[in-house]
Amino acid sequence: MAARFHPNGLRVIDEELIDEVVRTIVESFHPRRIVMFGSQARGDAGPDSDLDLMIEMETDLRPLERMLTVCRLFPRRRWPLDVVVYTRAEVARDRNVVGTMLHMIESDGRTLYDESSVPA
């Protein structure tokens, strides 16, 4: 199916685009998990809403460098993307701490990819 665009010129964030983004991230970084959060996950996204993703993977990069590395996978994108990348240790430390972003993501997010559910 052809990509659809809003009147404002941004690409519609639909399941086809989300699947494409997840596939690209998985092929490039082999993450442990990818979780969508925010308005797209809640189902109340509007034409200006972004795609919020939490990626859990092992990395030695600092948080900003992690985000930039993922965003560079999509240099010509015409849709807003917000990415946070956490290591397994960071997720274990903060996922149950009320008030942290990870706690909110774990509580309200929608898992798009989990390596433990992929056949070997």
- DSSP output for the chain: ----B-TTSPBP--HHHHHHHHHHHHHHH--SEEEEESHHHHT---TT--EEEEEE----S-HHHHHHHHHTT-TT--S-EEEEEE-HHHHHHHTTSTTSHHHHHHHH-EEEEEGGGS--
Average pLDDT estimate for 98-104: 95
Looking at the chain, the whole-number percentage of residues with pLDDT higher than 70 is 93
Question: Domain range for residue 39?
Answer: 15-117
Average pLDDT estimate for 106-114: 96
pLDDT at position 1 is 66
pLDDT digits 0-9 by tens, 51-93 = 999 999 999 999 999 999 999 999 988 889 999 999 999 999 9
Read off the CATH number of the domain in which 86 is found.
Answer: 3.30.460.10
Number of domains in the chain: 1
pLDDT at position 92 is 96
pTM, two decimal places: 0.90
